[in-house]
Structure 1
Amino acid sequence: MALMDQLMTADEQRKDVIIYSLAIQILKHFSVTGKTVIHMLGRMDLSSIELEDLDKLDAALNCIDDTIVIICTQKNIETPKVDYVINKSLKGHNNNKIMESRLKKVYISYKHDKNYDEAMEAIKRGLKKNDIYYSIDMQDIKYRDDIVKYEKEIGSADKVIMFITAPYLKSIDCMFEMTEIFKNEDVKNRVFPVVDLQPIPRNRDGLKEIKDFWLKQKVNASVQMQTESGNSDYVINELSKINTIIKALDEFWDYLVHINTGSFMNLLDNDAVLLMEEIQRAKPRKTAELDERIVSMGETQPTVIRRTTQNGEKSIYVENNTGTININ
């Protein structure tokens, strides 16, 4: 109850930690007497659950034995079909790895352009051929889904194919996805770039051209906001996105200029076989790593030194520990 009270007044980052803590404590409470059954309402492919929340649920479930999760698309089903029953950590019933696939899937950030349709098809064929679960807007954004929420999910994903073209650089939706991707750090390991910038040069002149474009968009949005009657939330939100894009441009362009993406056509040849090899070679990112060492504090009292390193913005939950926390 104390945590519930805190939850009502906490900021977003603190809420993350409290929800994680509650999830573990509730599951532990229910697991004391035996098998736990969790009944969840949502889509069978778990797409109704945000990726960050799914990550927390997965970590909480891994602390508990004998947990069964039931997913239903309707409320108040007392005896769901066997197909709905998923075992511990949602890791699969009859090898149907729903949660694992969703947490490890590859997202595709790109700009719709008929000139690159065949290139996109080559990437999708390669992913299917190699049994790599992937997410792309045309198949994963359902009717009435929140598009911005999906763009943020791309930003937090462990693996992202960024198909960067000249139209991509001048699309507010694509470039907002870029800012979300770079906000979550570890870009070198998470991002798999496919680049064809023609006719924009991949140098200082190219950066100036893109900056000038977005500065002009900022001026236009500012003028529209000042001349319109009333407050337009849409224009304000768009102006906020443009400001975020402009701030991220230098880091993004530095990444583009210094990373070798090879020949665009060679990378996608034979159903993007070279790209698929790189994706399969990459190891999944660990949110936090724990390092334990025994340090002698006396002849009879050795002490365990624990160090937790966190990457990105995901929250971590450390239970029943005392000591010092150093934040660098």
Structure 2
Amino acid sequence: MAAFLEFEKPIAELQARITELRGTAQTNDGTLDIEAEVSRLQVKADKLLRETYAKLSPWEKTQVARHPERPHLKDYIAGFVDDFMPLAGDRAFADDQAIMGGLGRIAGRRVMVIGHEKGDDTASRLRHNFGMAKPEGYRKAIRLMRLADQFGLPVVTLVDTAGAFPGVQAEERGQAEAIARSTEQCLALGVPIVAVIVGEGGSGGAVALAAANRVLMFEHAIYSVISPEGASSILWHTADKAADAAEAMKITASDLLKLGIVDRVVAEPVGGAQRDPTAAIAALGSAISEELESMADQSRATLIASRREKFLRIA
């Protein structure tokens, strides 16, 4: 069961009571019939979960998007990418594991998959630098995109990052240039590119992999030029106004769909992808396959022109 967020406390209390009652049933001599009470509480908890997630605020969606138990890149690859062959390194400096990629098949179609990996425990989060890529990560992405273009393979990118790594060493190695080149490479591809914001889509670190023909977004993901906390610090000189900043920034999937920033919202299971990762992964795999199929017959010139026009309209 997924860990509960702050706004989910009433649901957590009901689930704790259900667990307690089930424990009581296992320890008594069978004279106590609690199944009816357990069923009543479960129905109440399920109803409260649906009602809560039907009216999440932008700040609450931010917390869901950052939930550590949401599926990660490796889970999506395991779920709907067959015959995956990882490709590593930027051929210049190092292999940045905040961005990973490789060849595979989605619904039988050969593709290049690239995405951010945050990690799912302390050791892996440190190894993947919490999904915050350095210049060599974006240069690896550029290398893989060029390889895909060379062999006529569609590109699928899965975006989940708070932003590019802000450290001194990244700036020394040309972070801004690497992000700009990666964005430029997305726009220049002569093959279809589908990008999905699966969790956080933060700043240029996200756009560098998301300048795509079709931009999809999970229902409870967020996509913004800066984090709510960062915007709050700039506007109000405190991070305490993050909820207000999130509301003003229009960072949710429904808002961004209305604004034309994203093209499609992929529904999540009730309570978020973290509650039923298998269903969420299957839904995303189907959506990506549909988008790739819709562009299968488009020419190189059409793909490039439509992609550039799309982002010029946003600008």
Would you say same fold, with TM above 0.5?
no
TM-score, structure 1 as length reference: 0.30
Higher RCO (Cα < 8 Å, 6 or more apart): 2
